[in-house]
Amino acid sequence: MDRDLFSHIDTDLNSISYLSLNYDHFDSALSSIVSSPSAAPTPPGPNDSLVLRELIGRLGTICNNKSASVGAVDHSANTSCYSTPLSSPPKSSLHPLPNMNPNPNPMPFAPDPGFADRAARMPCFGGGPHMAMSGQLSRVSSSQSLMDAGMTGGVQLEGELPVRENGSGGRGANNGRKRKAGVKGKGKEASLASSGTVNSKISEEDQSAKRCRPDCKAGEKKGGTEEKNGNCSENNNGDRENKNDSDSNNANAKPVEPPKDYIHVRARRGQATDSHSLAERVRREKISERMKLLQDLVPGCNKVTGKAVMLDEIINYVQSLQRQVEFLSMKLATVNTPSDVNMDNLLQKDMPQACSGSMQQPLYRSAFSYPNQPQVAPLNSLLATNSIPNLGMQPSSNLPFDGFGNANPQIGGFWEDDLQSVVQMGFGQNQEAALSSQSFQGSGPSSSDMKIEL
């Protein structure tokens, strides 16, 4: 219920904080996308199609990037970005890829809503013959779908075989081009294709997209299991094609087969392709992605590499935060407030008001009702100045400030209703009347006594 009240605020909050984090990715991703056509090391033949596919793939991750790093599951604004068949939290397959090299010349790039449609309908996104090979792709877990929020057309990446087959049946053109490119991929593509949901940072997508093409070419020379060949072909073509498939399907109102509960994983070259190891790989990718999220949250973890060290840092950070809460609560206990401030009244669990956890409620009561408190303005400034540096998120105009300039919407927002009633009570009533409505725990008078003694 509280979540409902400020879910949108939460989204804003998170997007504020993470947008700044992701802006680099965003910017460089865009720039790389724009400049990639020139940098694509592919023969002129399939160049256009591959480049377009890559573009679609990258665009598909821009939105996911933002929402992925948010880390929250329930963001209403972001759920529209995905179309995961499962209701579970957005899955993402992340490879621990190195950071992308920022493009020197960023160019403004606005995702064209019709881009996906147009690209999807291009004849180069065929792939009939490959579908036969793709039949050997081993299904591992739940399906994937990448949807580009920037494109209103809704590029959907669906890893299901049936979908591909349907889509390819509908296309049929230009299979030759894909054949050439399609060989087993290095599996970086897997992040794009397979369980790739909310992935990641665009850097990984870039790397994967870039790597897959040359890898696929190289892999063609070597032998490989049919499965892997099928995988790669799908890697290069299938995923993007899938995206385009679904997209064109959506655009053409073709019936899209309902996604199954699988995650389709590409087998990397040289790796086992049985279901266990693939599932294991998916799981590892998920875990590494979450670790990256945590790395962003925990300060000073950017240079740290390695799971163990990261975990240590995380544990330390959580411990320190918990200790801070404890310390601050002790400190609040020692503060010699005027006797009419009964903070521990709120601690009464059986009190409906107390249970709202609004520690600030008595403060506001007293602030409003305290006769010697001439104005609320200093309180505003105090709160504003103190909460701004203390909060992890930098407040901007997006953050709703209540009457106290409380820059913490999540905690401050959900008892706004209480606050209003408090204000009315505090202003309109005698302070004793306001306070006596609460059951008194008994430390009020003793605090004043305590003051005298100390």
Contacts to other proteins from residues 272-311, by CB under 8 A: 283, 286-287, 290-291, 293-294, 297-298, 307-309, 311
Q: State the nearest-atom distance from the C-beta of 125 to other proteins, in Å.
A: 33
User: Which of 126, 412, 422, 435 touches other proteins by CB under 8 A?
Assistant: 412
| Of 47, 136, 438, 448, the one binding other proteins by CB under 8 A | 448
Is the distance from CB of 59 to CB of 120 less than 8 angstroms? no
Return the structure tokens found at 74.
């329930």
Q: x/- string (CB under 8 A) for other proteins, residues 414-433?
A: x-------------------
CA 425 to chain centre: 41
**How many positions of this chain bind other proteins (CB under 8 A)?**
89
Three-state SS for 266-311 is: CCCCCCCCCHHHHHHHHHHHHHHHHHHHHHHHCCCCCCCCCHHHHH
| Least distance to other proteins, CB of residue 294, Å | 5
19 binds other proteins (CB under 8 A): no
Token pair of 109 as six digits: 């790039």
Q: Does 75 bind other proteins (CB under 8 A)?
A: no
Minimum distance of other proteins from residue 330's CB (angstroms): 4
Largest CA distance in the chain: 91
129 vs 357, beta carbon nearer other proteins: 357
For other proteins, the closer of residues 250 and 441 by Cβ is 441
Residues from 84 through 103 that contact other proteins (CB under 8 A): 89
- Least distance to other proteins from the beta carbon of 420, Å? 18
Give CA–CA dist 299/383, Å, rounded. Answer: 24
Q: Does 445 bind other proteins (CB under 8 A)?
A: no
Among 410, 429, 431, 438, the residue binding other proteins under the rule CB under 8 A is 410
- Say whether residue 454 binds other proteins (CB under 8 A): yes
d(CA 335, CA 343): 11
Indicate the residue among 218 and 318 with the shorter CB distance to other proteins: 318
Alpha-carbon radius of gyration of the chain? 28
Which value, to the nearest 10 degrees, does the dihedral of the CA atoms of residues 424, 428, 431, 433 take? -90
> For other proteins, which stretch binds (CB under 8 A), given 72-80, 232-240, 248-256, 260-268?
72-80
Identify the CA nearest to 339 among candidates 237, 223, 435.
435
Q: Is 21 in the site for other proteins (CB under 8 A)?
A: no
Query: Residue from 322, 396, 420, 430 that binds other proteins (CB under 8 A)?
Result: 322
| Residue 251 interacts with other proteins (CB under 8 A): yes or no | no
CA pair distance 65, 111, nearest whole angstrom: 15
Residue 264's DSSP bridge partners are: 139
- Closest CB to other proteins among 252 and 396? 396
SS3 assignment for 111-124 = CCCCHHHHHHHCCC
Least distance (Å) between residue 351 CB and other proteins: 11
Site for other proteins in 324-353 (CB under 8 A): 324-326, 328-339, 341, 343-344, 346-347, 349
Angstrom CA distances, 419 to 319, 345, 365, 372, 379, stand at: 31, 16, 9, 21, 15
| 153 contacts 114 by C-beta, under 8 angstroms | yes
**Among 39, 107, 218, 315, contact with other proteins (rule: CB under 8 A):** 315
Here's the x/- map for other proteins, 346-385, by CB under 8 A: it reads as xx-x----xxxxxxx--x---x--x-xx----xx--xx--
Whether 57 and 242 have beta carbons less than 8 Å apart is answered as no
